[in-house]
Amino acid sequence: MAVSVDVGLGNGIISPAVRARLGKSAFPARRWFILLEPYLVTYYTMIPPFPRWIWWWAILLPAVAGSVNAAALLSLSHGGVTHLTGISTEAGIGLGSTNVALLAHAAGVVALFTGGCAVSAWVARGPRWMPSLSATLLLLLVSGLLVLASPTLDTTPWLGIMICAAAMGVQNGTTSVVSGAVLRTSHLTGMFTDLGIALGQRARSGVVDYRRVAICIVVIVSFVFGATLGTIVFDRWQARSLLGSAVLASAAAAWTLLSYVRQRN
């Protein structure tokens, strides 16, 4: 979607409106900003076109995160494992109330999630928005960790939670590295924030990035669907519900590999 601007630097045409603003500005830096402002607005309000293959990440991986987070919450009734806001609050509560067990749990989840992100950044190779073998391997690692967490969550819940946190760190790190942090699949705060911004922009007839709105809606619906389905399965099969999450992560890995092969050919 193109953004209408009133300055054409490419062909040397400057509109009267911009000329008037330039005339009022005595500072060279301010004058340059006025000239470049339309392009800066375009840059910060628009995201690059999503390749078709990555839309399946936006559909499958939030469902993985939603189902995993549901299992974690139903197992220990703590702050979940797919995002660290609630867990960081738990750490603060642990410190404030001298609850060592709560503090240790929060610290473990934060450490494992962060470590998973670090692994994804270390392993990931290739340009942004491109499927790669490294991304495929990382998603298979997510699947493997969830398979390992399934029996562990039954026998040693706290350890199973830590393994889930590592898996979610790898997943979120992988999608962030590949998409340049545009696509996040393990938490929704940013998605709801972007939707609210879009509503405000639409209300004042401003520029709305509908591509961003679309990705936000897809991620939110997928995450909630995954959490709903994960809860239903957990109620029946307990920690074995994580095996379904692992299947979804494997499907995302298989799609990434297929996309990589297609691009190579």
Label each residue of the chain as H, E or C.
CCCCCCEECCCCEECHHHHHHHHHCCCHHHHHHHHHHHHHHHHHHCCCCCCHHHHHHHHHHHHHHHHHHHHHHHHHCCCCCCCCHHHHHHHHHHHHCCCHHHHHHHHHHHHHHHHHHHHHHHHCCCCCCCCCHHHHHHHHHHHHHHHHHHHHHHHCHHHHHHHHHHHHHHHHHHHHHHHCCCCCCCCCHHHHHHHHHHHHHHHCCCCCCHHHHHHHHHHHHHHHHHHHHHHHHHHHHHHHHHHHHHHHHHHHHHHHHHHHHHHHC
pLDDT digits (tens, 9 = 90+) for 95-105: 999 999 999 99
Beta pairing class for 13-14 and 7-8: antiparallel
Does pLDDT of 35 surpass 90?
A: no
Residue 37 has pLDDT above 50, yes or no: no
> Which is higher by pLDDT, 128 or 158?
158
Look at residue 83 in the predicted model and tell me its pLDDT.
Answer: 82
**pLDDT tens digits, residue range 115-143?**
999 999 999 987 888 999 999 999 999 99
Please compute the mean of the pLDDT values over residues 13-34 and round it to a whole number.
Answer: 50
Going by C-beta distance under 8 Å and a sequence separation of 6 or more, which residues neighbour residue 104?
94
CB neighbour list of residue 63: distance below 8 Å, 6 or more residues apart: 222, 223, 225, 226, 229, 248
pLDDT the model gives residue 177: 93
pLDDT tens per residue across span 177-210 = 998 878 889 889 889 999 999 999 888 888 888 8
Average pLDDT score over residue span 9-36 = 48
Residue 66, Cβ neighbours under 10 Å: how many? 28
Query: Which of the four pLDDT bands, split at 50, 70 and 90, describes residue 52?
Result: confident
Joined together, the tokens standing for residue 159 give 């350890």
Q: What is the mean pLDDT of residues 202-230?
A: 91
Q: How confident is the model at residue 43 (pLDDT cuts 50, 70, 90)?
A: very low
Sign of torsion over alpha carbons 172, 116, 261, 223: negative
Q: Does residue 235 carry a pLDDT above 70?
A: yes
The average pLDDT across 70-83 equals 86
